[in-house]
Structure 1
Amino acid sequence: MSTYLLAGPNLRCWLAVLDEHEQNKYEEGPIFEVLMLRTPSGGYLFDPAGRCIYCGAGGPLTREHIVPFGLFGDLVLPAASCRGCQEVTSGLETFVLKRMLGVTRTKYGFRSQNSRKRRRQDGASIRRIERDGSRTEIPLETDQLPFHSWALPVFNTPALAWQAPYEDVVRDDKLEFRVGRDDAETALEAGGGLHPIEMPVGVYDPQKFTRFLAKVAHGYACAVLGVDGFPHLLGEFVRSGHEQPRIFVGGELDIEEPRPTIYELALGTTLAWNGQRFLGVRMRFLSFLGTPTYTAVVSEHLEQEIELPDHAAYEKPIKVTVKGRNDEVLFRSG
Structure 2
Amino acid sequence: MQPLYQPLWECIYCGSKEPPLSKEHVIPFGLGGEIVLPRSSCEACREKTRKVEEFCLRNHLGNTRISLGVQTRHPAERPDSVKFRITESDGSIRVATRRKDELPIFLVMPVYPAAFLLRDAIRKHLNPPKSNEWIYFSSYEELAQLSGNGGAVKIGSMDFVAFARFLAKMAHGYLVCERGLRNFTPLLTPLITQQTTEYWHWVGGTVDWSIPAPTDDIFQIQTYTHNETGYIIARIRIFPNLNAPTYHAVAGREL
The whole-number CA distance in structure 1 between the counterparts of 2:74 and 2:53 is 14
Equivalent residue, structure 2, for 1:66: 26
The whole-number CA distance in structure 2 between the counterparts of 1:259 and 1:178 is 16
Q: Is the 8 A contact 1:280 1:295 kept in 2?
A: yes
Out of 102, 112, 115, the residue aligned to residue 155 of structure 1 is 112
Q: Per the alignment, in what secondary structure is the counterpart of residue 250 of structure 1?
A: strand
Equivalent residue, structure 2, for 1:87: 47
Q: Is the 8 A contact 1:49 1:77 kept in 2?
A: yes
Q: CA deviation at 1:47?
A: 2.5
Are 2:241 and 1:288 aligned?
Answer: yes
More strand by share: 1
The whole-number CA distance in structure 2 between the counterparts of 1:86 and 1:153 is 24
Uncovered stretches (5+) of structure 2, i.e. residues with no partner: none
Out of 123, 132, 139, the residue aligned to residue 174 of structure 1 is 132
C-alpha deviations, 1:17-54, integer Å up to 9, x for none?
Answer: xxxxxxxxxxxxxxxxxxxxxxxxx4422222221000
Q: CA deviation at 1:68?
A: 0.5
Q: CA deviation at 1:240?
A: 0.8
Equivalence map 1:198-217=2 (5 Å)? 198-217=152-171
Q: CA deviation at 1:172?
A: 7.4
Equivalence map 1:243-258=2 (5 Å)? 243-253=197-207, 256-258=212-214
Greater C-alpha radius of gyration: 1
Equivalent residue, structure 2, for 1:188: 144
Q: Residue type matched to 1:84 in 2? A: A
Equivalent residue, structure 2, for 1:117: 77
Pairs aligned (count): 249
Q: Is the 8 A contact 1:159 1:248 kept in 2?
A: yes
Out of 90, 100, 103, the residue aligned to residue 145 of structure 1 is 103
The whole-number CA distance in structure 2 between the counterparts of 1:256 and 1:151 is 19
Q: Are residues 243 and 88 of structure 1, via their aligned partners in 2, closer, same or farther at CA, if it must alter by over 3 Å?
A: closer
Equivalent residue, structure 2, for 1:56: 15
Q: Residue type matched to 2:144 in 1? A: L
Equivalent residue, structure 2, for 1:267: 223
TM-score (norm 1): 0.68
C-alpha deviations, 1:159-217, integer Å up to 9, x for none?
Answer: 112249xx93445773111223x3x32243355x5x11333321111111111110000
- C-alpha RMSD of the superposition: 2.4
Q: CA deviation at 1:155?
A: 2.3
C-alpha deviations, 1:272-297, integer Å up to 9, x for none?
Answer: xxx43211211111111111111111
Q: Residue type matched to 1:218 in 2? A: H
Are 2:253 and 1:297 aligned?
Answer: no
Higher relative contact order (CA 8 A, sep 6+): 1
Q: Residue type matched to 2:76 in 1? A: R
Identical residues among aligned pairs (%): 30
Q: CA deviation at 1:69?
A: 0.9
Q: Are residues 213 and 190 of structure 1, via their aligned partners in 2, closer, same or farther at CA, if it must alter by over 3 Å?
A: closer
Q: Is the 8 A contact 1:158 1:297 kept in 2?
A: yes
C-alpha deviations, 1:281-314, integer Å up to 9, x for none?
Answer: 11111111111111111123x35xxxxxxxxxxx
Q: CA deviation at 1:255?
A: 5.0
Equivalent residue, structure 2, for 1:104: 64
The whole-number CA distance in structure 1 between the counterparts of 2:213 and 2:235 is 16
Uncovered stretches (5+) of structure 1, i.e. residues with no partner: 1-41, 304-334
Q: Are residues 282 and 114 of structure 1, via their aligned partners in 2, closer, same or farther at CA, if it must alter by over 3 Å?
A: same
Q: Is the 8 A contact 2:168 2:192 kept in 1?
A: yes
Q: Is the 8 A contact 1:124 1:145 kept in 2?
A: no
Q: Are residues 170 and 47 of structure 1, via their aligned partners in 2, closer, same or farther at CA, if it must alter by over 3 Å?
A: farther
TM-score (norm 2): 0.87
Q: CA deviation at 1:258?
A: 1.3
Are 2:159 and 1:230 aligned?
Answer: no
Q: Per the alignment, in what secondary structure is the counterpart of residue 124 of structure 1?
A: strand
